[in-house]
Structure 1
Amino acid sequence: MTVNEFPFDVITEQEYDRLRALYEPLTESMRRLIDAGIRTGVDDSAIGEARAAIDSATETLERVRRDTTSTLRHAGTGRPLAWANPAVGLRNAIAPPMRIEHEGENGRCWAEFTLGAAYEGPPGLVHGGVCALVLDHLLGEAASDGLTKPLFTGTITLRYLRGTPLGPVRAEAFIERTEGIKTYARGYLGDADGWTVEADGVFIRPAWARDAG
């Protein structure tokens, strides 16, 4: 397999901006709905009304339904734009609302965002698996130069230093070193009081990418 054999559709910056302006508010509305569904205390009648309204909206969206989701590549940056990605998918309401920034050397990147009730594990704390999802993706972003290089997670090791409270968090990652086909990345997740989780990952260039040079 070569890079060109991946099912990417190239998209212009203008078209990406148009689609983002269209779909991002929809995704935010669905995130709000998920949070409301978890926290609501309305009576039985209101629950019935809400369910009918949700079913009606769902039927509207299902009028045109694609069997698969396509992965887009930005024509200007070369970055893939996976709408359905569970970590950063613009059209996936279960994805944490994180917008990743890239800066500096060693692939350094970071994101500041809020994890609400939909990501709860122990009472008041973020589920450990959600912490792992965030850090796996962010380390991959760093190791692959913003997902522009073909690298896949080989191993990831996490140390949970303390519980991560629900609410505003910051995550960051950077490359420690590269040895042949392996890139070693390190990252952190935390709140205003400091880091709560630290992670080390090894990302491997797949065989088909090595053969392609």
Structure 2
Amino acid sequence: MTDSPIHEKLAVSVRRLIDATIRTEVSSEVVAAATSEIDSVTGQLGAALMPGSFGERAVANGANPVSGNVVVGARNPSAPPLAIQHESDGSVWTEFTLGAAYEGPPGFVHGGVIAMILDHVLGAPAHKPGRPAYTGTLTVRYHRATPLQRPLRAEARIQTVEGVKNFTVGTISDVDGTTVSAEGVFIHRR
């Protein structure tokens, strides 16, 4: 089975379901009925599952599809998902808003989610077609809490390259400025 827009629509619906599950205040009877319906749908979808993970598939050009990726995967309802934009100078950026599924402290994004997003965004400038870069180190500095339900922007660039090592820097910001900054080393296999 190939990836398709219908699979992306399913993931969007499940993202809405996750948000509604977290924030619902309906009666116990409505929750019980919804649970039964969700279990039925899960049974339908589970009737034919691929072995392994989505990323283990190879496509025609030899690359691995990212549709199951936890940060950018359009088919992964756990993903925000981020749409990474590449600039001609090699830098990258993405704009996104995180909702209830990403909460840590009340009203704010969980620090581990922030680190996961920065890991992906800082690695993006180092990735080359057919030559992924792997995280060597990631150092994250939290300047202040990152709010939920507010537009955010993550950006990154390569600072220096030493052989197979790409040293990158990046930030996450909101309208009031930087909430988190990070440095990372992303390594290409020899």
* Shorter-chain TM-score above 0.5: yes
- Change in CA separation of 1:62 and 1:127 when aligned onto 2, cut-off 3 Å: same
Instruction: Give, in angstroms, the shift of residue 73 of structure 1.
Output: 5.9
Structure 1: runs of 5 or more not aligned: 1-14
Identical pairs, percent: 48
Which amino acid in structure 1 is aligned with residue 17 of structure 2? L
RMSD: 1.9
Instruction: Give, in angstroms, the shift of residue 164 of structure 1.
Output: 0.2
- Change in CA separation of 1:82 and 1:177 when aligned onto 2, cut-off 3 Å: same
Partner of residue 177 from structure 2, selected from 194, 200, 203: 194
Distance in 2 between residues matched to 1:79 and 1:184, nearest whole Å: 24
The 10-residue stretch of structure 1 (33-42 or 147-156) with the greater mean CA deviation from structure 2: 147-156
Partner of residue 67 from structure 2, selected from 83, 100, 103: 83
Q: Write out per-residue CA displacement over residues 33-62 of structure 1, whole angstroms, 9 at most, x where no aligned residue.
A: 000000000001101111011011101101
2:119 equivalent in structure 1: 136
5 Å matches for 1:3-18? none
5 Å matches for 1:42-57? 42-57=26-41
5 Å matches for 1:13-162? 19-71=3-55, 80-105=64-89, 107-145=90-128, 148-162=130-144
- Change in CA separation of 1:64 and 1:138 when aligned onto 2, cut-off 3 Å: same
SS of the equivalent of 1:175 reads: strand
Contact 1:101-1:110 within 8 A present in 2 as well:
yes
Instruction: Give, in angstroms, the shift of residue 204 of structure 1.
Output: 1.5
1:205 equivalent in structure 2: 188
Distance in 1 between residues matched to 2:76 and 2:125, nearest whole Å: 22
SS of the equivalent of 1:123 reads: coil
1:183 equivalent in structure 2: 166
Distance in 1 between residues matched to 2:59 and 2:49, nearest whole Å: 24
Which amino acid in structure 2 is aligned with residue 81 of structure 1? P
Q: Write out per-residue CA displacement over residues 144-181 of structure 1, whole angstroms, 9 at most, x where no aligned residue.
A: 14x64232110000110100000221111111110112
Which amino acid in structure 2 is aligned with residue 141 of structure 1? A
Instruction: Give, in angstroms, the shift of residue 63 of structure 1.
Output: 1.1
Instruction: Give, in angstroms, the shift of residue 140 of structure 1.
Output: 0.9
Instruction: Give, in angstroms, the shift of residue 114 of structure 1.
Output: 1.1
1:5 equivalent in structure 2: none
Which amino acid in structure 1 is aligned with residue 77 of structure 2? A
Equivalenced residue count is: 188
Distance in 2 between residues matched to 1:53 and 1:141, nearest whole Å: 39
Q: Write out per-residue CA displacement over residues 56-111 of structure 1, whole angstroms, 9 at most, x where no aligned residue.
A: 110110111222134356657x7642222111122111112211111121x21111
The 10-residue stretch of structure 1 (87-96 or 38-47) with the greater mean CA deviation from structure 2: 87-96
SS of the equivalent of 2:135 reads: strand
Which amino acid in structure 2 is aligned with residue 187 of structure 1? G
SS of the equivalent of 1:82 reads: coil
1:4 equivalent in structure 2: none
Distance in 2 between residues matched to 1:100 and 1:64, nearest whole Å: 31
